[in-house]
Structure 1
Amino acid sequence: MATVDAILAAKYPAKVHARRVAQALQAQGEAGAIYLEAQKTRMIEDNDEAMPFRQRRPFFYLTGCPEPDASMVYDVKADELTLFIPPIDPDSVIWSGLPLSPEEAAKLYDVDRVLYTSEVNATLASIASTQGGKTVAFAIEEQVSEGIQFKGFSQTNFNVLKKAIGDARVVKDAYEIALLRKANDISAKGHIAAIKAARTATNEREVEAAWMQTCIANGCKEQSYHPIFAGGANGATLHYVKNDEYLVDQATKQRKGNLLIDAGGEYRTYCADITRVVPLAGRFPTETRQIYEIVLQMQAACIAMLKEGVRWDDVHAQAHRIAIKGLLKLGILRGSEEELFEKRVSVAFFPHGLGHYLGMDTHDTGGYPNYEDSDKMFRYLRVRGILPAGSVITVEPGIYFCRFIIDPVLKSAELSKYIDADVLERYWDVGGVRIEDNVHITKDGHDNLTSAPKAIEEVESLAQ
């Protein structure tokens, strides 16, 4: 079997992606050409510096090109992919050096030819004339620059290309899996560095700094999302981003019990998304360890269910059933397992979805969530329906102690009887425990791409 680095030594498979998307478009009309633009260079308001650059994902998927201000045309019938790059600007060369030449770009990217952007309209017109003007040009309306013309095509469809690309991105090829595995491998190193840094850190930002240094040093210069470093009760905030509070109580000088780390590096546009919880004093406090064990059970059971054709809604429901069983055992919940499930009491402790598709975006395309769902257990589930082979999904169960969510249940005449407030009182300082891995769905099972340590003994050993 080829290694990750051996796979990634080849070109990103842009032509295969273009063919896949074109095939999906045929149902919308005779596809003649696909046109996409890269993200433009944009200047910071009231400043002469460019904004941080993030390539448009549809464009990257069909070109593998990370350059700004470029564009592409795919001639469907001729199966010809053309990349267009900006011509040389002599004034810019003084400051930034020479850009890629067409010859250099042709060697880097899986395209048939490379031209300058000044030749886009002529190329489109040539395709239309060759095909007799009876075919459709597909583009994304809000991503077409002024001056681009689709003369000669019978129609320009701006409505379906973005969705077609989004749906195609759900199933990854071997190259994309290698990119995701690489992002995970580097991120695992970052998590280990963060766990070690947490031994002596006095502020959340010190741990974040160790994480960032390791990611950048190993090839993940960009982050998949704003990382989370949440000490103690801060872990109850699902998307905590301050990362600047003390890990030592300023009054008692005692270290907080644990630190939740949700962080993933981005490698060549593909994302990792990993969450771990770290004991700040070398060993987990009793209450945190109890919750950690439940969440680990939730994740293990859910991952064991995964294979092609599994309904994600069912996996999510299974996570709630295991959470209920565990919280009942601790005495936090009261009542029968089935009644607690039917009343959705566990949603107060596990309010988010079990996971989401992962790829070029952290919350990747194709999940079709229903945020209007009247069933609060599934309202924030970002993927609904059947998992196909080739998809990559995060499995991230969690249990949280957030007063904003739990207090209304404690005050509810109908639901308060299901929670023992006296037992619950011992767990507020836990904040939250979430464990998240990135899993590749296969025909007969699954492949966990995440190697960051999560076993209690291993995490405690690193934290000591």
Structure 2
Amino acid sequence: MAQDLDKILGGKYPAKAHANRVADLIKARGGGDSGIIYIEGQKTRMIEDNDGPMPFRQRRNFFYLSGCELPDSYLAYDIGKDELTLFIPPIDPESVIWSGLPLSAADALKKYDVDVVLPTTDVNGYLAHYCSAEAGANKVFAIPDQVSSEITFLPFKETDFDVLRPALDTARVTKDAYEIALLRQANNISSAAHTAVLKAAKTAKNERELEAIFISHCMSQGCREQSYHPIFASGESGSTLHYQKNDDDLIDASTGQKKLNLLVDAGCESRNYCADITRVCPLSGKFSPESRDIYNIVLEMQMASLAIIKPGVAWDDVHANAHRVAIRGLLRLGILQGGDEQEIFDKGVSVAFFPHGLGHYLGMDTHDVGGNPNYNDENPMFRYLRLRGTLSPGGVVTVEPGVYFCRFIIEPYLSSAELSKYINAEVLEKYWSVGGVRIEDNVVVTEDGYDNLTTAPKSLEDIERLASGQA
């Protein structure tokens, strides 16, 4: 597998194929057979009241069509001629003494999957030439609010700001072999970093120690950037879905004992492609009986979800099925009561314990484009589901069921005259300290099922073995 990754990633990022795909989508949506796709990379931005630049993050749509991570760059694709032109900053003698020589046009042509490389000073001249009568490309497609003030489209007869972004969103949903290789590489490195955290959790004193171990491992393996701000949540903080502090002690100050569990939601980027993985481990090395109960339910939710993933399946149905598995598990424990599975499902009581969506598209963004969420859905079970639609081959999704014990979310259900009868408050009391359990993998939808990119250990036995220092 490592040799396959090296072989795929040894080639150029397939920018030209991506441009072809986007152009085909523009044509299919009535955009015509000619015109210029114009897109800009992210600008260098300075820190306010400082002479240093802000951390750079390339615009994802620009990277998708160029494979280029240079700031202050531009791109144009002539649809009729099938010609991809990259514009990169020219040499600035003032900056060379500080930053060294920039990438040359000749080197950029060797590095990137483009047809022509020109300096950024030539952008307006290029546009004027390609909308001339002899060139015949009198239409330009661009993204609103992402065109610099010095760029002019005045020579073009028509400027279309409507079709390019939706075409890019659709194109980016289906990943090619190169993109999947980058996602697999990010998953491999992130999975190893999760394993390193599991091994260190028992002796660590603070959440930040474990975050440092994770980031250090990723950086040492060549992935400097994280896909998102990592979540290292100990104890009851595990019930906060996007916990950000990562600096709490692992000892409970009120009891002097180590907190029960640590929830880690973290993943690195490989050339802008994201991993998004969650694991939970016992800080003592062994799950408490209540933590074990919940971990087994969440793992059952995930395995049941994976079992039905294939092309043509509605993600709403996979999500709803995960709720049904959660309901059955919580009924077994006695946390839920007073009705059968269907009644509890219809009343939406499981949302109190599983308030987020089962998963989302993954790619150059953690919550990748093309998911068509509906945050105004009147049904709270589906309101935060970031992927609405059917699965298709080449789509990459996260599968991340969870069960949480968040007082802020659950207490309104306990106070409801209609819904409180379905929750046994006495049994629930034993589970608050569990915090939350989420298990998250990243999978590619294949022609007949799925391929799981995530290799981080997740069986209860493997988690305890690593967390107790036996491996």
What TM-score comes out, normalization by structure 2 length? 0.97
Q: Deviations over 1:412-443 (max 9, x none)?
A: 00010000000000000000000000010011
2:456: which partner in 1? 452
Q: CA deviation at 1:146?
A: 1.2
Separation in 2 of the partners of 1:309 and 1:176? 22
Q: CA deviation at 1:141?
A: 2.4
Residue-pair matches, total: 464
Which of 22, 28, 31 lines up with 1:29 in the alignment?
Answer: 31
Q: CA deviation at 1:395?
A: 0.2
SS in 1 for 2:85: strand
1:248: which partner in 2? 251
Which runs of structure 2 are paired with 1:139-218 in the superposition (5 Å)? 139-218=142-221
- Kindly provide the amino acid, as one letter, of the partner of residue 263 in structure 1: A
What TM-score comes out, normalization by structure 1 length? 0.98
1:81: which partner in 2? 84
Which runs of structure 2 are paired with 1:240-319 in the superposition (5 Å)? 240-319=243-322
Q: CA deviation at 1:251?
A: 4.1
Which runs of structure 2 are paired with 1:339-418 in the superposition (5 Å)? 339-418=343-422
SS in 2 for 1:352: coil
SS in 2 for 1:3: helix
Contact (CA 8 Å) 2:314, 2:389: kept in 1 or not? Answer: yes
2:98: which partner in 1? 95
Q: Could you list the runs of 5+ residues in structure 2 that have no partner in the other structure?
A: none
Separation in 1 of the partners of 2:276 and 2:117? 34
Contact (CA 8 Å) 1:133, 1:154: kept in 2 or not? Answer: no
Q: Deviations over 1:326-372 (max 9, x none)?
A: 00000000021110000010000000000000000000000000000
Contact (CA 8 Å) 1:29, 1:136: kept in 2 or not? Answer: no
1:440: which partner in 2? 444
Structure 1 window deviating more from structure 2 (6-15 vs 21-30): it is: 21-30
Q: CA deviation at 1:148?
A: 1.1
- Kindly provide the amino acid, as one letter, of the partner of residue 16 in structure 1: A
Separation in 2 of the partners of 1:435 and 1:135? 51
Separation in 2 of the partners of 1:98 and 1:54? 21
Contact (CA 8 Å) 2:354, 2:401: kept in 1 or not? Answer: yes
Which of 457, 461, 464 lines up with 2:465 in the alignment?
Answer: 461
SS in 1 for 2:7: helix
Structure 1 window deviating more from structure 2 (60-69 vs 160-169): it is: 160-169
Q: CA deviation at 1:133?
A: 4.4
Separation in 1 of the partners of 2:148 and 2:6? 37
Q: CA deviation at 1:250?
A: 2.6
Contact (CA 8 Å) 2:309, 2:445: kept in 1 or not? Answer: yes
Separation in 1 of the partners of 2:391 and 2:262? 32
Q: Deviations over 1:218-272 (max 9, x none)?
A: 1110000000000010000000010000101234321111100000001100000
Separation in 2 of the partners of 1:39 and 1:202? 40
- Kindly provide the amino acid, as one letter, of the partner of residue 6 in structure 1: K
Q: Deviations over 1:273-299 (max 9, x none)?
A: 000001100101110110000000000
Separation in 2 of the partners of 1:251 and 1:417? 32
SS in 1 for 2:411: helix
Contact (CA 8 Å) 2:36, 2:137: kept in 1 or not? Answer: no
Separation in 2 of the partners of 1:302 and 1:394? 11
- Kindly provide the amino acid, as one letter, of the partner of residue 51 in structure 1: M
Contact (CA 8 Å) 2:63, 2:69: kept in 1 or not? Answer: yes
Structure 1 window deviating more from structure 2 (140-149 vs 45-54): it is: 140-149
1:233: which partner in 2? 236
Q: CA deviation at 1:134?
A: 6.0
Q: Could you list the runs of 5+ residues in structure 1 that have no partner in the other structure?
A: none
- Runs of at least 4 residues off by over 4 Å: 130-134
2:9: which partner in 1? 8
Q: CA deviation at 1:388?
A: 1.2
Which of 321, 333, 341 lines up with 2:336 in the alignment?
Answer: 333
Q: Deviations over 1:169-224 (max 9, x none)?
A: 00000000000000000001110111112120111101101101101001110000
2:118: which partner in 1? 115
RMSD: 1.1
Separation in 2 of the partners of 1:352 and 1:17? 32
Separation in 2 of the partners of 1:21 and 1:241? 37
SS in 1 for 2:173: coil
Contact (CA 8 Å) 1:138, 1:157: kept in 2 or not? Answer: yes
Which of 106, 109, 128 lines up with 1:106 in the alignment?
Answer: 109
Contact (CA 8 Å) 2:360, 2:367: kept in 1 or not? Answer: yes
Separation in 2 of the partners of 1:125 and 1:150? 8
